[in-house]
Structure 1
C-alpha cells in the first residue's frame, strides 16, 4: 500500500468495461511507485495553491486505459479539499462511454452520503476511434455508444440529472459543449429550476474561438460561461483539435452559425457606417447652405 493512499469515491459501475486487465497486473516497480508518488505530490501542490487562491480546479479525462487512475486521484482530492456547498475540485465524465451515466450516479450518491460537494465537467468524449480499435483488437464490445444520438441522449440525461441535484443541494456542473441543442435544453431546464445569474452551480464551457454565438447568448442570458485555450507543442495540440473536429460534429455546425452571424454583423456595421456617413454629409451640406444664406443677407 502506497503511503499516500486515502479514501476516495467509486470509479467504476457494474456496467464498466474491465477488459484492460484481463489478467492480474504485475506489482508496480520501485520507479513506477516513485513516479506515482511524484504525481500525487504535484496534484497536492496544485490543490493547495488553488485553495489558497480560491480558484477551482477541473481535472480533464483521458482514454479508458488510464481514466480509473485519474478518477482515483481526482476523487481523493475532492474528499480532501471540497468543503461547504461549492466544490473546489471537479472531475470529468465522458458521455460517449456506455457506463458514463451510471458512474456519474454512483459517484454523486457516494459523495452525498459523505456530505461532500462534488463537481463534474460533462463532455461528449475525444477518443472514440482509439477506444473502438482497442476493443475490437481484444474481441470485446466497444465501451463507446453505438451512435451519436445515443451519446447526445447520454449527455443530456447526465446534464438533466446533475441540474436537478445541484438545484436543491451542494455540487457543481460544467457543461463543456459546442452543441446548440444541448446548450438550449440545459439553459431552459436551469431557468426552470431557478439556476441563473446569481448561481455559481452551473457553467458552460467551450473551446476558444468556437461556438461563440452560443457562448454570447448564454452569457447575455445570465449564465456563467468560460472559454478554454489548449496550449503546448503543436505536435500534441493539433491531434487534440482534430479529435474535437472529428468526434464532436456539433462544434462544426456551431462554427457555421458563428460565421453566418459574423457576416450578418459585419453587414449591419457597414450599413450603419454608410448611413452615418450620409447623415454627416447631409448635415454638413445644410450647415454650408445656412452659412451662404447668412452671407447674402
Structure 2
C-alpha cells in the first residue's frame, strides 16, 4: 500500500515529485520485496525574494555583543591558523606519524593542541568543565548538546565503560540550569560493538530485499530503507547471528535504554548520531526501536539523524515520517549534510557501483533544504521535531524564513538550530538575536581520546570554501570596530580634559 495517500497535501507531493537527484539502484537480486510506492527525495526549497532579512550578520556590534574581546581575538586567531591548509596537513601528518611514539614529541604536540584547537572546539575534559561551558553559553542565550567524545567501542567491556560515561553525562544535566541542555548525544557505536553493527546492517539489508528471509531477533521499529538505498554492502546472504551475537545485541539495547532513562529523568531528549552506510542501517534500527518505545504523544524524546548528502536521504525521511504518523508516533530528526563522503565514494568505486553520495554539492544543498522544508511543514501543525544542524548561511536563512511563515516559535520546542562548538558563531548569534532556539554541539573528553573529532574539524575548517570564512571576516571586522572605538574614546576623553583645563585657566 502506498504511503502517499489522499490525506497527503497535494502541494507537498508535487514539491517532492518535481525535481529529484535520484540514484540508480544497484541490485544484486533480481526481485524486490517492497510493496510501498517510494516518495522521491524532497528537493530544493523555494525562498522568498521580498528582501526581508530574517536575521542580521552585518551588524557585528550586536552580533558579538556577548563575546569578550580576549575571547574574540583567540577565536579569530585559531580559525585563521586552522584554515591554512599546509599547517593543517602538517598537523595531521604529525599526529599519524611514528614521531608521536617519542615521549617528548608527544608531550609537546599534545600540549600545543590542548591550548589551541582543543580549547576552541572542545567543551571540556569532563562533565564538570563541560557544565561550566554550558552555563557560559546559557548566559549568552544559547543551549548545549552534550556529546561524550569516544566514538567507537570494540567489545562489550569497552561498551559498558562508555555507557557509564554516557549515564554520567545524562545525570549531569540535572545540576545545570533548566533547559540549558537541549539534547544528550549518543553514538550507537559506543554502546554496541562496530563489528556487530556491521553484521546486523547486512542482515537488515538482506531482509529488505528478500520477503521470505526473516530475522527472529528483530524488534518493532520504523522503515530503515527505501528502494533507492545502497545495498552493495551485502553481496550474498549473510550468516545468521549466533546466540552470542544475539545476546550482545540485547545488551546493546539495554545500554541504550539505560542512557535514555537517565536522560529523561532530567526531561532532556536524546539525539542519536549517524555514521557511514556500512553500519547505518543497524543504527537506524536501534534508533527507531527507541522511538517506538519512548516517544510521547506530542513530543519526540528520541531523534534520529538524516545525512542529506546521501541520495536516498529524502525518501527515507519521508517513509519513516509517514509510517510514524500511521502509528500515531511523533518523530524527530536531526538533519545534517554528512561527514563520510571520501570513504563512501572510495568503497563504491572499489565495488564498481555508483556512489550513494550526491554527485554535486548543489545536489546535497537541494536535498538538505528540501528535507528541512518538508519537516518544517510537517511539524508546523502536527507533533514532531527538527534539529537543523548546519553551518550554511543560506540554509539557515531559508529555514528561519520558513519557520516564520509557519509560525513555528521558540516556545513550541519543535525546531532547534545547531552548530559545532567553535564554528559558525556568526550564524549562531544571528539566529539567537532573531528569537530562535539555538544549540552548540559540545564534544568533551580527554584530549587524547577526542583526537579523531579534532582531526575531522581541522579537515573541515581548511580551504577557501570553509564555513569559517564568514566568521573570520566578521570577527576581524568587529575587532577593528572595537579598536577604533577604544582609541576614539581615548581621543575624545583627552580633548574633553583639555577643554576643561583651558576653561579653568580663563576663569
Does the alignment reach a TM-score above 0.5?
yes
Find 2:414's aligned residue among 181, 186, 201: 201
Q: Retained in 2: the 8 A contact 1:127–1:243? A: no
Structure 1, unmatched stretches of 5+, are: none
Structure-to-structure mapping, 1:27-42, within 5 angstroms: 27-42=240-255
Change (3 A) 1:179 1:235: same
| Segment of structure 1 superposing worse, 276-285 or 183-192 | 276-285
Match of 1:238 in 2: 454
Structure 2, unmatched stretches of 5+, are: 1-215
Residue-pair matches, total: 289
Deviation of the 1:192 alpha carbon: 1.1
Residue aligned with 2:219, SS: coil
**Is 1:121 paired with 2:334?**
yes
Change (3 A) 1:151 1:249: farther
Q: Larger relative contact order (C-alpha < 8 A, sep ≥ 6)?
A: 2
Match of 2:229 in 1: 16
Change (3 A) 1:14 1:99: same
Q: Retained in 2: the 8 A contact 1:231–1:237? A: no
Q: Over residues 70-113 of structure 1, what are the superposed CA-to-partner deviations in whole Å (9 max), with x where a residue is unaligned?
A: 01111111111111322111000011111100000000001111
Find 1:221's aligned residue among 421, 434, 439: 434
Q: Retained in 2: the 8 A contact 1:11–1:71? A: yes
Distance 2:472 2:312 in 1: 36
Match of 2:423 in 1: 210
Find 1:93's aligned residue among 289, 293, 306: 306
- Structure 1 segments, 4+ long, off by >6 Å, are none
TM-score, normalisation: structure 1: 0.91
Deviation of the 1:244 alpha carbon: 3.7
Match of 1:53 in 2: 266
Find 1:189's aligned residue among 396, 402, 408: 402
Q: Over residues 98-147 of structure 1, what are the superposed CA-to-partner deviations in whole Å (9 max), with x where a residue is unaligned?
A: 11000000000011111111000001111111111111222222111111
Deviation of the 1:236 alpha carbon: 1.9
Query: What is the alpha-carbon root mean square deviation over aligned residues?
Result: 1.9
Name whichever structure is richer in helix by fraction.
1
TM-score, normalisation: structure 2: 0.54
**Is 1:158 paired with 2:371?**
yes
**Is 1:102 paired with 2:315?**
yes
Deviation of the 1:196 alpha carbon: 2.9
Deviation of the 1:245 alpha carbon: 4.3
Q: Retained in 1: the 8 A contact 2:461–2:468? A: no
